[in-house]
Chain A
Amino acid sequence: MSTAIEVRDLCYRYPDGKEALRGINFTVATGECIGLIGPNGAGKSTILLHLNGILPEQPTRTPAVFICGQPVTEQNLPAIRRDVGLLFQDADDQLFCPTVMEDVAFGPRQFDGVGAPVDGRVNAALQQVGLIGFEKRSPYHLSVGEKRRVCLAGILACAPRMLVLDEPTSGLDPRGKAELKTLLQKLPATKIIATHDLELVVELCPRALLVDHGEIIADAATLELLNDEALMLAHGLERPHILRHRHPH
């Protein structure tokens, strides 16, 4: 199976001097879905922002991230940003257009030119997330779950090969979570999901990475990792209920 994402010795320091990532290494195979877990401030979001070149602010001479074998450099950025769709934690940061239609069309228009026919792709993306009929609505008027799905439609409309999702279920009610989970299960793209929602990781990701203090602490099969109670507690996490109460009925 080919490698979709490769991260080699990724280090990052915030502009205020705080060290955020210290030598991150991992690879993700095409079609794989991996969970990125860890306590608050561990560096999960910072890793994700490196995957389509939002960070570092100034491109380095020795790129540490490779997408389908291509290094993330200034020249490769347009192609890499088309390939890697990034879902931000706060939907209000991502939905900035006056209507849902325009927001979903934003990505395709950036990549294909302002005059490019995008209606078909926008409709297909809205259909995928179950929001047909929302085209003229203002993103501000939507519920948190709907906003999250519009964000996802905006990414899907660019037809990315990889989806990088930062806390996709945060702020969602149980129904919203279930709908999003079903939706993500249907998408064939390679996925990296950074989340505190360990049940989501159990159900969607066969493999998980545990990050803390800017380092990868463990890279293992999800069930093996999440069942290691001592390791989980040591890094501010806990064994999810779904694993504690799995009885053979």
Chain B
Amino acid sequence: MIRHDFFDRHSRLDSWIHRLNAGWKLSIALAIVLATVLMPGRFALCFVGIATLLVVVAVASKIPAGFLVKRLLLLEPLVLGVAVLALLQPNGGCVFLVIVTKSTLCLLTMVLLSNTTPFSELLGVLQRVRFPAMLITTLALMYRYLFVLVDEAGRMQRARASRTFTKRRFAVWKSLGTVIGQLFVRSTERAERIYAAMCSRGWK
């Protein structure tokens, strides 16, 4: 089960990195990601430099190393899925290495950003730089309700499991399908209720 603080579990720790202004952190993180992505693969030393910087930030922010490694391992399969395709071209080994390095550095940057800055503060920065309001509202609602939805799915799955007496794969898939369908209906209904609650407090 995903915990509700999945994205920013360590964002409320106390370190000088956590105390930095959220706007600065977001800008620096975006700059690092941009530099990493645009840097030609042959500048290996630059990658080492960025990696060192990230490690220093990770240590200074007091986020447990085990957590960072686990989070990277969780995200890495997505990167590998794309990188493996590079192996099929001539000189593929090098391209593969560059893709994996760049992606890992970008992922680590974002994991560090989201675990040193509470999500609400990041939204606040976006609001200040006049990011479209509708997009910010959508992000805020997603962050707020994703875990309500995950919890609901978990409860439905448990309730179903407690009344399922077969291990046949087809039956399990069928019940999973029903849970997903039910979840969709419940989410739609909840969305309507949330909208009504927003309207009743003056949302236009």
Contact = CB atoms under 8 A, between A and B. Distances in A.
Interface stretch (A95-103, A203-211, A229-237): A95-103
Number of contact residues on B: which range applies? 20 to 34
Contact of A111 (B118, B190, B196, B202): B202
Nearest to A140: B4
A197 interface: no
B120 A81 contact: no
Interface in B127-156: 140-141, 143-145, 147-148
B69 interface: no
Interface string B188-202: 001001101111111
Given A81-B202, A107-B202, A158-B201, A96 B120 contact: no
Given A93-B193, A98-B120, A140-B147, A110 B201 contact: yes
Contacts, number: 70
Chain B at the A interface: mostly helix, strand, loop or mixed? Answer: helix
Interface residues of A, number: 31
Given A93-B194, A99-B120, A102-B120, A139 B201 contact: no
A81 B201 contact: yes
A88 B198 CA distance: 11
Nearest to B202: A110
Interface of A: 49, 52, 54, 78, 81-82, 84-86, 88, 90, 92-99, 102, 106-107, 110-111, 138-141, 154-155, 158
